[in-house]
Amino acid sequence: MLRILGSTQRLCDGLTRREALRAGVLGLGGLALADYFRLTQKTAASPARQERSFGRAKSCILLFLYGSPSQLETFDPKPAAPLEIRGELGVIPSRLPGLQVGELLPYSARVMDKVTVLRSLTHPYPLHGVAFATTATPTIDVPMELNPRDGRHHPFIGSVVAHLQQRSGRQSPLPANLALPFPFSSRRVGEVQRAGPYAAFLGSAYNPIWTNFQGEATVKTVKTLAGQKLEVGEPYMGIRPDGKFLIGQDQPDQTLTLDRLDARRSLVDQFDQARQHLGNTDAGRSFDRHRALALDLLTSARIREALDVEREPLALRESYGMTLFGQSCLTARRLVEAGSKFVSVFWDEFGLAGSGWDTHWEHYPRMKKELCPGFDRALYGLLTDLDDRGLLDETLVVCISEHGRTPKIQNVSGGGRDHWSRAYSAILAGGGIARGRVVGKTDRIASDVTERPISPKDVLATTYHLLGIDLETLLEDRIGRPIPLIQGGSVISEALA
């Protein structure tokens, strides 16, 4: 008889997985494989679950810096390195004794005692693998990077959190998987849509619910891509205070009345009658979830209020920075405070592809004027605000990117650093993360990890752990096959409180 081999683990009923699993059908009353896994989600506590801080985070705010910042100008500077490595910028001390950060981060320096700095992230894929950084996909390549519908993709972490919450039957005041400021890779020209924050085999019903930012930039800049130049209003450098984060529409619908809403419900009821034959199929369940979300978002005063950052005092808003990233971070704080489980803020490309933190050229001008000031204020504002409100210890903040930048500066206009995935940095804070800690170390030029290599999968595993999700949880793909929550990742125990 064919056996499916694996590590021996005793389940609650006394059987082991190795004893119970068979090809196709199990000897437990004829249960199908998928049914068996649905019934055995509550297993004996795994080793990861037994670690401290399990379930400490009620919610998570993911900050994703698309394009990837340089570790050398942010959280792993090398002031003693040769000039062609350290570059033209210096370092400053931080609130955490012995920890220096790049000189362009004076506000972030004040909150380093609230975070754990990961200085030893590493992986073998120096490309814009947003999907590799935010999902359990075991590999990434350029065709996957540029195709969200590639069948090899795994679901985005926020989609998994929302799916598991739905599967458990737990309800929350707001949708569990919200994302800002606009649908990923939708506000730039050039190339095709990038992969990353999508639900993959879980189905589109679990894609993030995106806001659409409507507002006016206050600063203009010229962006370049392969010789193309484009002047744009850059919202990441500054926005007017009256900008709005909307869901489901490009402009506010001032004419939406109760009569119109009732008409929409009536139309939905007609669709319900037409789809009764779907029964309990996956398509039907997906339709139900889309329908429920659509009506909830149309009628929820709570989400409209949470998205309305103008309710906040101007001084507080300015502490985050009056930029798109800063006000997105403030909105994320309002959303988790109102009850959302997982909120993502993407610093995305804008205007042209190859923007964001992708500093192949004009590295120093962009770091000084466009990138570091907005990030610096936003990180400081978010962590300080959460802490002042007593929310930081229950709100996990994860700040990551795809990779780092080359140690050696490229001889191009304004200097440049290319893709580098052998060593880079990330920030964790709150929700069961230790305060004032540094994990990992790189060599004298931030080129390679010399102490405690950390995979992006370890960051995801730690996030799941702190959100109270057992790492042995199984998902199902589109045909019902069991898929591990994450492979090759383990909890970063040194980062736990």
pLDDT in tens, 305-333: 999 999 999 999 999 999 999 999 999 99
What is the predicted pLDDT for the residue at 354? 85
What is the predicted pLDDT for the residue at 352? 86
The phi, psi pair for 6, rounded to 5°, reads -175, 180
Low-confidence ranges of the chain (pLDDT < 50): 1-44, 250-268, 270-271, 275, 278-279, 299
All domains of the chain, ordered by start, with CATH?
52-477 (3.40.720)
Give exposure, 31-48, as e/b (b: 16+ Cβ within 10 Å): bebeebbeebeebeeeeb
What is the predicted pLDDT for the residue at 42? 44
Q: Are 242 and 279 in contact (CB under 8 A)?
A: no
Residue 148 is encoded by which pair of tokens? Answer: 């969200």
With 0-12 CB in 10 A as exposed, 13-18 as middle and 19+ as buried, what is 455?
middle
What is the predicted pLDDT for the residue at 224? 83
Of all residues in the chain, the percent with pLDDT exceeding 70 is 79
495: closest CA among 422, 435, 423? 435
**CA 411 from centroid of its chain's CA atoms:** 33
Q: Are 467 and 55 in contact (CB under 8 A)?
A: yes
The torsion angle over the Cα atoms of residues 131, 135, 140 and 145, rounded to 10 degrees, is -20
What is the predicted pLDDT for the residue at 276? 53
3-class secondary structure per residue, the chain:
CCCCCCCCCECCCCCEHHHHCCCCECCCCCCEHHHHHHHCCCCCCCHHHHCCCCCCCCEEEEEEECCCCCCCCCCCCCCCCCHHHHCCCCEEECCCCCCEEECCCHHHHCCHHHEEEEEEECCCCCCCCHHHHHECCCCCCHHHHCCCCCCCCCCEHHHHHHHHHHHHCCCCCCCCEEEECCCCCCCEECCCCCCCCCCHHHCHHHCCEEEEEECCECCEEEEEECCEEEEEECCCCCECCCCEEEECCCCCCCCCCHHHHHHHHHHHHHHHHHCHHHCCCHHHHHHHHHHHHHHHHHHCHHHHHHHCHHHCCHHHHHHHCCCHHHHHHHHHHHHHHHCCCEEEEEECCCEECCCCCCCCCCHHHHHHHHHHHHHHHHHHHHHHHHHHCCCHHHEEEEEECCCEECCCCECCCCCECCEECCCEEEEEECCCECCCEEECEECCCCCCEEECCECHHHHHHHHHHHCCCCCCCEEECCCCCEEECCCCCCCCHHHEC
User: What is the Cα–Cα distance from 124 to 402, expressed in whole angstroms?
Assistant: 11
Look at the alpha carbons of 452, 386, 297, 215 in this order and tell me if their dihedral is positive or negative.
negative
Bridge partners, 245 (sequence order): 213
What is the predicted pLDDT for the residue at 28? 37
